Every structure is written in structure tokens, then in C-alpha cells.
Amino acid sequence: MGFLDNIALGLGEAITTTNLLYCFLGCLMGTLIGVLPGLGPAATIIMLMPLTFALDPTTSLIMLAGIYYGAQYGGSTTAILVNIPGEASSTVTAIDGYQMARKGQAGLALSTAAISSFIAGTIATLVIAVFAPVLAGVALRFGPTEYFALMVLGLVCSVVLASGSLVKALAMVTLGLTAGVVGIDVTSGVERFTFGFQPLSNGLDMVPVAMGVFGLGEIISNLSRPAEQRTTYAGRIGNMLPSRKELRRMLPPALRGTTLGSVLGVLPGGGALLASFATYAMEKRLARDPKSFGKGALEGVAGPEAANNAGAQTSFIPMLTLGIPSTVIMALMAGAMMIQGIQPGPSVIREQPDLFWGLIASMWVGNLMLVILNLPLVGVWVKLLTIPYRILFPAILIFCAIGVIAINGRPFDIYIMVVFGLVGALFRRLDCEPAPFILGMVIGPLVEEYLRRAMLLSRGDPMIFLTRPISAVLLALTVGLILMIALPSLRKRRDEALQEDGV
């Protein structure tokens, strides 16, 4: 089928009554929970994922995608109104967005974020529709050696693009790889890291681990702060509709952010995060008045929000076409597909085109719904933010517990969630970003599987990774990346790009 035929197929699937309803519910619930301080898209998706298990696979993914967009938008709302970013990439939005809110321009900041995100979402959806099938065609030529090399490159990228110390990011990936091999080795039948404890023989399930690290860990971290640091928004919203002059100001940075975010979002680990910081730095350099940044610059909200949204959507490309999650969110989406009996990878486009193109078309529908839904409901979200955190966190705990139990029905998963909640709080106390840990846990078993397959095909000859062109190129890129980040000058540039003070 041609490009237009594929788009028509996707729209026909996305705008059915059922899928529109669940896309709307996903956007609404995602925003509702994403607005709450201390919860980001990852924790929101984990809590609400059990609601999608009984749905049709296409409807399930459309609803999860809507939850993702809604939670991401909710994170921007808290960043602007109360200076609490819902996720790492919203940190950049908070720099100028919160200053605009303090000046009585909260409505303008929120509308700027919504319009920029919609522009980015529309363009990024077209990028996915054009490039994802091409990449999937290339992926059909991949064997065990190529997949192994690609996943190693992804793990190295997740270390490079993680904010903070390289050593800490490497430690997080290593811990994730270790957690991923817990259980019985399917090849030899030997128990690994179970310490003779029978419930661990099936391994560590990703959902309770992620729920603990992101959900419970964030709660513990929030409760450890003084109560005055969890203040709610008490200012006025102001005018929500931007003027023509303000629209002309936000359009160029939104387009630049979309371009940069679309490219960097494909990178494993933190492409969308890097895009937000890089776009902010670029807009600051291009601005006529760079000193206005950090004091309520409109461009400081439009550019990073567009980059964040575009990067978030193009991160679907490697997950859908290669079966490799580039972010924690994509790891959760891949897990949801596997629960539905669908293996992420190039076969999805060929064998289930209605699911693939329906999901892509729903991205544009979901972004449009967010603009229509959220701008009139800003007052509701502000009221929600006035609920004391001592009332909110027990409700969040209940959501987490229900979500964990609903997946496997094992009470033991609650204990796993609690343990990893303490681990997640420790990560935050040590300034260790938890995302590389989860990515290492998800990708680690796949790296081991493809390594074993490749070695079996070559009868134990490791030179197979260098004799096959694609794997040799990918491994060369990996080695080059390692050598580059080892150079002091490049490490300094990376640290400056990822530090808030550096932008």
C-alpha cells in the first residue's frame, strides 16, 4: 500500500467510536494523574496499565498512548504552576514557565505549551509515518549479531545521554543488567541470583520494579522533603488566548524544537530530555535578548515543549520497528504489547498494519484532544493541586498496589514494589537517574539471548560480529562513542549540555 493508503487505514482505525472513546479516556486520566505533584508519565502509565489488559490490542495501545500524552502534558502543567516538573524534560519548561506564572501569565504559558506540543505532535506523527516503514524494512535484514550490536549501542547511548555523572549512569545500567538475569536460565535451567528463594525463580517482573522505583520511590522522596516545599498554586491564571504577536513569537522556536526533538528522540536513553535542554540552549543563543531567559521568556517555553513532545513521539520508532525500547515509557509500552501477545518489531507493520497505522493516526488525534480538553479544564487542574499531599499519597499508594496485583495476581509483587521503592528513593538521594536501570533490566535479557544465538550460529567464533557489515558498523559506532566520551573536552561539553545551570 502507498503512504496515503496507510494513513487512510490508520485514520479509519483510530476514529472508530470505541478507539476515540478510549483515546479520550486515556488523555483525561493521564492528565488527571499526571497533574498531581510527584507523578510523571512513567508512574502514571504503570498505575493505569491494568485498565487496558481486557481491551483489544489496538484499543489498548491507543489508550496507553493517550495516557502517555496526557501525563506528559500534566507534568508541564505542574512545572508551570507550582515549579514541580512531572518528568525530567519538564525541568526546562519550569525555568521560564514558572516565572511567567509568577507574573500573572500562567494562562499564556499553559497555552504556549499546549500549542507548541500540538505543532510538534502533528509534525512528529508525519515523521513516524514516513520513516518507520523504511526502518522496519531495514530491520528485516537483522539477525542475532545485528540485534546484539544494536542493543549494546543502545545501552551505551543510555549511559551517555543520562543526566549527571557517567559513572553513576554506568552503575545504573550494570545494576539493571544484573536485575534482568534474576531467575532460571532458560538455556541451562540454572537458577541465578535467586539465593534459593522460590518466588524469584520466575525473575523480577518489570512492572512492580518500575512501580517501586518511579512511583513509590517518588513518594518516599517527596515525603522526605519539608512540607513547605510542596506548596500549591495560589496565583491567578490570566488570559489563556495568545495574541497574534505572541503566536508569531512562539512559532519559530516551536518549529526548531520540533526538528531537533524529532531527530534526538530516536536515540536510546534520553533523546527527548537532551532535546529539551539543547533546544533551550539554542533558543537562548538565537534570542535578541538572552537575558530574558530564566525570567519568563515565551521562547523558553515554546521551544523545549515542542522538542519534548516531538522527541517523545519519535521514540516510538525504534520500539515499533526494531523491538528495542529507547526510553522507560517505551519499555512499558513494549511490555504492554507482549502482554497482549504481540512481539514488538518489524513484523508488526507487515502482519498487523491496522494496529501499527491505527496507533500512529491516534497520536495526532490524541494531541488534538489534549488541546481541546486541557485548556478549558485548567481551573480544574489548579483546584486539584490544592489537595494536600498527605491526602494524595495514600491514594497513589492504593493505585500502585492495585496495579501491581492486577498483572500477575501475586502478593509477592507487592514486596518487590516496596523493596524497589526504597531502592528508588536511595537512587534519588544519591543523584542517580533511575531510567538507565530500567532500560538495562529490559534490554539485558535480550542482549544475552541474541549473543547466545549469534555464538551458536558461528559455532563459538566471536569474529562473526565483525564479519557481518551491519553489526561491525554498529559496534564501531559503540567503540567510537565510548572513546569520544572518554575525552575530557567532550565529557565537559556533555555535562554542560545536560546541566540546568549550563542552559
Average pLDDT of the chain to the nearest whole number? 78
Q: Which amino acid is at 311?
A: G
The SS3 of residue 205 is coil
Domain ranges of the chain: 3-502
| DSSP secondary structure, 107-123, as one string | HHHHHHHHHHHHHHHHH
Is residue 458 helix, strand or coil? coil
Contacts of 88 (CB under 8 A, 6+ apart): 163, 270, 273, 433
Which residue from 370, 337, 329 is spatially nearest to 356, judged by alpha carbons?
Answer: 337
More confident residue, 102 or 414: 414
Q: What are phi and psi of 192, to 5 degrees?
A: -125, 125
Of 160 and 147, the structure prediction assigns the larger pLDDT to 147
22: pLDDT confidence band, cut at 50, 70 and 90? very high
* Residue closest to 486 by CA, chosen among 263, 120, 233, 166: 166
The label of the residue with cell 567532550 reads: 490
What nine digits make up the cell of 49?
A: 496499565
Q: Look at residues 438, 447, 443 and name the one whose alpha carbon lies nearest to residue 46.
A: 438
pLDDT mean over 282-302: 83
Residues 92-118, mean pLDDT to the nearest whole number:
83
Cell of residue 211, nine digits: 512501580
Exposure on the CB side of residue 191, measured as CA atoms within 13 A:
10
Q: Provide the pLDDT for residue 252.
A: 92
pLDDT value at residue 459: 85
Please state, in angstroms and rounded to a whole number, the distance separating the CA atoms of residues 257 and 119.
10
Query: Burial of 291 by CB count in 10 Å (0-12 exposed, 13-18 middle, 19+ buried)?
Result: exposed
Q: Is 420:175 a contact under the CB 8 Å cutoff?
A: no
pLDDT in tens, 416-427: 889 998 998 898
| Residues making up the chain, counted from first to last | 503
Instruction: List, in order, residues 6 or more apart from 256 with CB less than 8 Å away.
Output: 279, 282, 283, 286, 303, 306
The reported pLDDT for the residue numbered 88 is 59
Consecutive H or E run containing 417: helix 412-429
> Each residue of 196-246: pLDDT tens digit?
777 787 778 777 887 788 778 877 877 777 665 554 555 566 666 778 888
β-partners of residue 192 are: 183
Cα separation, 322 vs 347, whole angstroms: 9
Residue 98 grid coordinates? 514558572
Residues 472, 484: Cα–Cα separation, whole Å: 18
Q: CA 58, 59, 61: angle at the middle one, nearest 5?
A: 65
Q: What is the pLDDT of residue 501?
A: 41
> 3-state secondary structure string, 59-92?
HHHHHHHHHHHHHHHHHHHHHHHHCCCCCCCHHH
User: How would you class 317 by CB atoms within 10 Å of its CB: exposed for 0-12, middle for 13-18, buried for 19 or more?
Assistant: buried
pLDDT above 70 as % of the chain:
82
Distance of CA 156 to the CA centre of its chain: 18
Bin 131: left if φ > 0, else alpha if -120 < ψ < 50, else beta.
alpha
User: Is the pLDDT score of 458 beyond 80?
Assistant: yes
CA distances from 471 to 153, 190, 291, 463 (A): 10, 30, 47, 11
CA distance 417 to 212: 4
CB 359 within 8 A of CB 61: yes
CA distance 74 to 66: 12
pLDDT tens for each residue of 126-144: 888 887 777 666 666 778 8
Rounded to whole angstroms, the Cα distance separating 312 from 326 reads 10
| Rg (the chain; Cα; Å) | 22
Contact 138, 393 (CB under 8 A): no
Compute the distance between CA of residue 295 and CA of residue 100 in angstroms, rounded to an integer. 7
pLDDT at 496: 55
Start-to-end Cα distance in the chain? 45
Non-local CB neighbours of 66 within 8 Å, separated by 6+ positions = 22, 23, 24, 25, 26, 27, 30, 362, 366, 369
Q: What is the pLDDT of residues 185-202, one digit of tens each?
A: 767 778 888 887 777 877
CA distance 480 to 88: 27
